[in-house]
Chains A and B, each alone.
Chain A
Amino acid sequence: MWVGFERRDLGAIAHYTGMLVASMALLMVIPLLTALAAGEWGPALDYACGIGVAAAFGMLLAQSAPRGTHLTRRNALIVTALAWLAASLVAAVPLSLSGHYGGFLDAFFDAVSGLTTSGLTLVQDLDHLALAHNMWRHLLHLIGGQGIVVAALSVSLGLRGGGAMSLYMAEGRDERILPNVMHTARFIWFVTAIYVTLGTVVLSVSNLIQGMEAGRGVLHAFWATVACYDTGGFGPQSQNALYYHSPIFEGVTVILMFAGTLNFNLHADIWRGDRKEIFKNLEARALAINIAILSVVVGIGLAATRLFSTPGEVVRKGLYHLISANSGTGHQTLYNAGWANGYGGLAFAAIVLAMAFGGMASSTAGGIKALRLGLIAKGVVLRVRESIAPASAVVRSRYHHLLDVPLSADVLANALMLFVLYVVTYISGGMIGAAYGYPIGEALFESVSATANVGLSTGITNPAMPLGLKVVYMLQMWAGRLEFIALFVLVASAIAAVRAKRGRA
């Protein structure tokens, strides 16, 4: 049943959206301090403006209802969909003032890409971007990877009680890790802090050994860690991970990509001492099988191109891209154009499939997710077993994901529905790209990369691309990160509100 909005619904939606937007003002203090410390006075002014806009816009919206206002499940989904859009808008303000973007839309594209942890970018002259702007671009990955709601909970902007829990669940998290939502948010940040600290220390040492100047080495290490752990893909250099030419860098960042793609509930179980869970878990098994099969395909595919001098080079380049694609990171050690011109065929298809499948649910990864693929595979096996069993037999199936659970028709239907939604979006984006004149293979690659929040590119995504395609990719990144439902609720509620208004007129 479509239910229209009452005044208090709109007030609650505006209030919570405002709170989430206002939290962006607090987070912009970090790049502001970076700019001041580095003596970047122009960028410091950009962030002062950004803080002003985010604080004013956020607090204005937040005045629409008193603190602690009740938030229904539907309204929480609408707030989540709107907050990701509004947060991207205010996040784009300092970027657009940097002079490194063709216009506000390009800066908005990068803000959406950053927050959704996609990594596709329209920045110009990246190699000369100010430290403060690079800090902000990578912080967007960190905020988006943990979730805007989790980030806002951490800075305690009045998001407490039932409203906070509804928002947390609406942001694509499926289970509570701890009984209290604030404790859950803290645990997510605790895991992140451990991995980010460890990654930054190891990569800093690696950068110093490579001869990088100390301050720059530490900043690059922090940014690469955040970009890989949050499965984002931005980098401070236009050559991305290829810039470092370092096996240590590649090894550490691959470990961070795995850590980022692990379900936060699985982190919690393992850290509680249940170490066998990672071996029993359907989602972990599905991801491992997926990587094993695609490793073989990438190995055969890249070796067949005869573009690499040794099998070792095939494995180094191929696996880095495979894990980067599967985890939804998008870091690359090959040039974009190579995917369009040189590495076609099997390896190209394997990378597209890896991006489309994605990592684990309740992690920072995008795509269909390994849990859903595992459930669908279990469903297929169940159907085959039912078909060959005697007519009187009752055939049941179970799976292990944190608990032993019976495979129900509801769970299977939900997994299949999201599988279909992702595939339809992948194909639709590919067809739109083809309609703009790009080869269908490249257009499909880019569409899958945007929807699954990966960030690998064949080169289609660049500042000169058609405006319409920029908007399509932004919508795909937004829809993919929120797993469609919050977006559909927003659209359906808007239609219901218009109908209700017409009915009253």
Chain B
Amino acid sequence: MELRFHSPYRGWLAGLLTEIAVFAAVIIVAVVLALAAARIS
């Protein structure tokens, strides 16, 4: 079996932007949930 390691350096910018987009999406979902909970309470 051949093991091949792809370089993580070549796609760093796209990877970085993906991560930031995912973090922002999680924050937005958390804000919506917490806001809804705070209004109901």
Contact = CB atoms under 8 A, between A and B. Distances in A.
Nearest to B7: A272
B38 A299 contact: yes
Contact of B33 (A292, A302, A311): A292
A299 B34 contact: yes
B26 to A, nearest CB: 6
Given A178-B5, A292-B29, A300-B40, A271 B11 contact: yes
Main SS at interface, chain A: helix
Contacts of B15: 267, 270-273, 275
Contacts of A295: 30-31, 33-34, 37
A194 interface: yes
Contact of A194 (B6, B12, B29): B12
Nearest to A311: B38
Contacts of B11: 271-273
Given A270-B15, A278-B19, A299 B33 contact: yes
Contact of B35 (A251, A312, A322): A312
B30 to A, nearest CB: 4
A260 to B, nearest CB: 11
Nearest to B40: A300
Contact of B37 (A178, A272, A299, A323): A299
A241 B9 CA distance: 33
A16 B35 CA distance: 52
A303 B40 CA distance: 9
A45 interface: no
A296 B9 contact: no
A314 B35 CA distance: 8
Interface residues of A, number: 42
Contact of A291 (B9, B19, B20, B26): B26
Contacts of B9: 187, 190, 271
Contacts of A299: 33-38, 41
A304 to B, nearest CB: 5
A429 B39 CA distance: 36
Interface residues of B, number: 30
Given A187-B8, A258-B23, A298-B34, A194 B41 contact: no
B37 to A, nearest CB: 3
B31 to A, nearest CB: 6
A295 to B, nearest CB: 4
A254 interface: yes
Among B20, B34, B36, B37, chain A packs the most CB atoms within 10 A around the CB of: B34
Contacts of B29: 292
A371 interface: no
Contacts of A267: 8, 15, 19
Interface string A291-334: 11001111110111000000110110011001100000000000
A502 B23 CA distance: 57
B8 A258 contact: no
A364 to B, nearest CB: 15
A284 B41 CA distance: 29
A254 B11 CA distance: 24
10 contacts: A190-B9, A258-B27, A262-B19, A267-B15, A270-B15, A299-B37, A299-B38, A311-B39, A319-B34, A323-B27
Interface of B: 5-9, 11-12, 14-16, 18-20, 22-24, 26-27, 29-31, 33-41
